Amino acid sequence: MPSPSPSPSDDISTWYEEAEHARRAGRVDTAQGLLDRVLERDPRYVGALYLRGLLALETDQIESAQRWVERAIEVQPDPVFYNTLCVIQIRLGAFAIAAQTAQQGLALQPNSPMLLYCQALALQAQGQIEDAAIGYRRLLQLQPDHSPAHANLGAAAKNLGALGDAERHLRRAIALAPDDLGARANLGTVLLATGRYEEAWPYFEDRWANFVNASGLPDSGRPQLPLPQWKGGSPGAVDSAERIATRQARLLVIPEQGHGDSLQFVRYLPLALERFSQVGYVCPPSLRRLYEHSLCSRWPGLVLLYREQVHERDWDCYSPLMSLPMAFSTRLDNIPAAMPYLFADAGRTAWWQTRLAALPDPNLPRVGVVWAGGHSGLADDRVRSLTSAQIAPLLALPHIRWISLQKTDDPAKRPDAASKARLTDWMDEVTDFADTAALIENLDLVISVDTSVAHLAAAMGKPVWLLNRFAGCWRWLRDRDDSPWYPTVRLFTQSQRGNWDDVLARVVAELQQRF
């Protein structure tokens, strides 16, 4: 007796199962072909729609993945589908929509660890730190050993100023996942913010795990060079196989992310020359003239290099610039803080002086001001920067010559019409930090948010009033208004997250007293 012919539904099930098997085996084209056959027969076959989205996600076709998963949800709302859609939207940077998607999934499955994590992650990316922390804590009640939740809650607690909670969660994350470099890097900055430098520096060596570029995307990882890294002690200790004679070794120092980092930590280059016969620094072009005048003219063994000039054969070992504090066993009580170590060119300084003297009321106190940082796409920049309208209470003070030191390619950070009328703004004529230094040399005070100009002015020994965000950068420590890195810096720190009004009111009062 002949067996019955397979039904169309049997074919669809077989094709779908074969597609699943092909996907797991990495045969993407085969899986897609089988799924297309399924969907041609039944366009609402939810498993095929969802699997098509997973294939697109796994092959970095992110927009296509979103469309397929959304079609699957239209057919059958499912918490797993919502979770995948939330992951896709986070990948696309659509954080507000991702948080809403996670909430829709949680309405179906309120205790889904996956959805709770994705929602908290999306909230954290938007800067909604308190709400994100609530989500991570709820997740950890369900899964106490969820390592990424501990790591992200630690980062959130750090930004909320709860350094004890931050340290506890980050240490737990590292205990659960010792290879979590991001958690190690965050623990390093927490320890640095509390002044526990010796304990912090080894964790800070993993800082590259948290670097992002100007668009907020992960940046390149730790630099890879075919040279041993010098981590302190005798230069001969960098290579046990071929020991290098003390004072004959040559050290290559490579820069890191921001200009502010370079301006703060180049103070270590002359110290390195006490241990090495030559120190080369791969110098950002905008800092080159300043460093040639300030450093190379005084220490001939210091060489500034362009990236294309770096040949590993010319060097015996290397160090990232911000690893030098660890190499020199820096503690709070031995920070090299002799000022100044950066200097303006006398000729360029005189040129700016002539221009300033030609302005009306040339004897007015001259105060430079910077209200916004660079890298507008970064979350940190959104919390450290002000608008020119926000600094109106400063600019409204009479009897002060306000000098703009604001340099930006972002039109939103340029002064508005009212601010521009109160500012002397020549920054379009400034080409690099040597020009900025010469202008700063003519000023009585610099008021700045946490950005490179603050470091430049402080390294020149100028009085600097830093407008410091709540739970700000580790280098400014906590609960103090001075800085062991710069004797002339005074900190005006937010008492509450986002509250610049109180900061500016204190600055206005101090300005009225000083001038």
Per-residue pLDDT band for 217 (boundaries 50, 70, 90) equals low
Rounded CA-CA distance 13/18 in Å is: 9
User: Facing residues of 319 across strands?
Assistant: 253
Chain center to CA of 26: 36
> What tens digit of pLDDT does each residue of 348-382 get?
999 999 999 999 999 999 999 999 998 776 788 88
Rounded CA-CA distance 154/131 in Å is: 14
Sorted by where each begins, the domain ranges of the chain are 8-210, 235-334, 346-514
Rounded CA-CA distance 376/393 in Å is: 24
| pLDDT at position 247 | 52
Rounded CA-CA distance 410/413 in Å is: 6
> What tens digit of pLDDT does each residue of 466-511 get?
999 999 999 999 999 999 999 999 999 999 999 999 999 999 999 9
Cβ partners under 8 Å of residue 431, min gap 6: none
Rounded CA-CA distance 241/495 in Å is: 54
Query: Mean pLDDT for the chain?
Result: 93
Token pair 């050290």: residue:
251
pTM of the model: 0.91
Tell whether domain 8-210 is in CATH 1.25.40.10. yes
Rounded CA-CA distance 272/282 in Å is: 15
Tell whether domain 346-514 is in CATH 3.40.50.2000. yes
Q: Which pairs count as long-range contacts for 269-274, CB under 8 Å and 24+ apart, including other chains?
A: 269/295, 269/299, 269/302, 270/295, 270/298, 270/299, 270/302, 270/341, 271/324, 271/328, 271/336, 272/319, 272/324, 273/299, 273/301, 273/302
Say whether 346-514 and 8-210 share the same fold: no
Answer yes or no: is pLDDT of 243 > 80: no
Instruction: Answer yes or no: are the C-beta atoms of 316 and 251 closer than 8 Å.
Output: yes
> What tens digit of pLDDT does each residue of 76-92 get?
999 999 999 999 999 99
Instruction: Answer yes or no: are the C-beta atoms of 89 and 120 closer than 8 Å.
Output: no
| pLDDT at position 246 | 47
Quickly list DSSP for 208-265. Answer: GGG-B-TTSSB---S---SSPBP-SS-GGGG-SSSPPPTTT-EEEEE--S-HHHHHHH
Answer yes or no: is pLDDT of 2 > 60: no
Give the whole-number percent of the chain exceeding pLDDT 90. 87
Answer yes or no: is pLDDT of 142 > 60: yes
What is the token pair recorded at 394?
């400063």
